[in-house]
A and B are shown apart, each in its own frame.
Chain A
């Protein structure tokens, strides 16, 4: 189904079209939310909030061809608002990283799937260790694969800054992962890559 037609139907109040739109983009929105908050349940709640915000503001999306960027912008703003509120009212206790729900299929998986799942966990934990701007660049460029000029517009940064930050952010992410993966029995995930 054409995305443009879908959005126009949604703007006309078609519930079926809205459901399809949610199904098409929920994975992306949940991924963005998870990248910002680092915890699956919280990310799902936040993703719902994002979709409510999208629904309420859908009439402001004037160019359906740029819907992905519009959606990403709304998701980012909602995530930043959420993090601000969380910072103002911190949770009573930290959420143990080990309690993060599995990010992949819950069915029994082969070993390589297990390694991939564990690495994803590590990445989401390490993203929380990065500075805000580096985390956003990793999320938008390396994960969501947005073009650099769109990222620069979204973050209100010069294009050159985004380019230079992009390389540094990947190195910092790798260092943060190595820092997390060095506990007892740790380091195995990275070691497997060269074994």
Chain B
């Protein structure tokens, strides 16, 4: 028998008044079960003050659902600590050892983890991260969200080099496959068309690589002046900062930000405008003392 149920008065005559009490409670404070249930853990742990204990016990005498909860909590208090360990059976240890014996030893793992800074290590960690992500149900949703944001950033922003791509793709889709030269060639000529297309694709890829190289060189060249100006402003600003001349350092920082923005614009837009390009016109605008 649970200790905390000892000392409760018997049913006796109170039962006949129970309905009356419940009616009064319903019209006044409401039921007391929530309060009693809130105090039950302290009651079972013998942490309740005497008056509270008597009040809860008086409630339990008349409330069968709460009394049943109290009884269950009483034996739970003894049972739960005995459940800390479960015997998995005689073959469990052997099964675990069998599964881990072929795996990499922890020492090897530690060595790998300790000096794992090269590209192979990075790929290994990336692979593990990717595997973990794939096991998450919401990963597909997150991936779709990030991909959408990236596509929008690359194709819908005014400074993006790919901003024309969706329109072109939509135009191709609306025109149908016959209007795409490579597809129509394959459809018309069959296998020979396929070989022809592959030859063309190879040639176009080579052209693309050359074109990309040229574009890269051109953008490098275009933005070089602005980048050099940015570096010069940063260097000058650092010198002024070291000398304690905060106003000059701030001005140089501002100029570095402007020329940096110009370099960024030239890289993405490829503008030839000398005003945006750097440099000289902006830096020449430094006010004379």
Interface residues of A (CB under 8 A from B): 10-13, 15, 18-19, 22-23, 26-28, 30-31, 34-35, 40, 43-44, 47-48, 51-52, 55-60, 81, 84-85, 87-88, 103, 105, 116, 119-120, 123, 138, 142-145, 166-168, 170-171, 173-175, 177-178, 187, 190-191, 193-194
Contacts and interface: CB of A to CB of B under 8 A. Distances in A.
Given A13-B108, A28-B85, A171 B113 contact: no
A190 B89 contact: no
B144 interface: no
Kindly list the 8 A-B residue pairs having the minimum CB-CB distance in the complex, ordered from nearest: A27-B85, A59-B110, A13-B105, A174-B72, A88-B137, A167-B41, A58-B106, A142-B80
Contact of A52 (B75, B80, B100): B100
Contact of A26 (B2, B65, B93): B93
Given A56-B104, A59-B110, A143-B80, A87 B137 contact: yes
Interface of B: 1-2, 5, 37-38, 40-42, 65, 68-76, 79-89, 92-93, 95-97, 99-101, 103-110, 113, 135-137
A171 B93 contact: no
Contacts of B68: 178, 187, 190
Contacts of A23: 93
B79 A116 contact: yes
Contact of A193 (B2, B82, B95, B113): B2
Given A27-B86, A194-B71, A13 B93 contact: no
A27 B87 contact: yes
Contacts of B84: 27-28, 31, 143-145
A177 B65 CA distance: 12
Nearest to B98: A48
A15 B101 contact: yes
Contact of A145 (B41, B81, B87): B81
Contacts of A81: 135
Contact of B83 (A40, A120, A166): A120
Contacts of A26: 88, 92-93, 96
Given A193-B2, A194-B1, A120 B79 contact: yes
B38 to A, nearest CB: 7
A84 B2 CA distance: 39
Contact of A55 (B42, B85, B95, B100): B100
B75 A119 contact: yes
Contacts of A11: 106-107, 110
B interface, over-half SS: helix
B129 to A, nearest CB: 14
B69 A171 contact: yes
Q: Which of B38, B75, B95, B136 has the most CB of A within 10 A?
A: B75
A158 B82 CA distance: 27
Contacts of A13: 105-108
Contacts of A170: 40-41, 73, 76
A58 B108 CA distance: 11
Nearest to A7: B106
Contacts of A167: 38, 41-42
A37 B88 CA distance: 14
A51 B85 contact: no
Contacts of A18: 97, 100
Given A58-B106, A59-B106, A167-B38, A44 B89 contact: yes
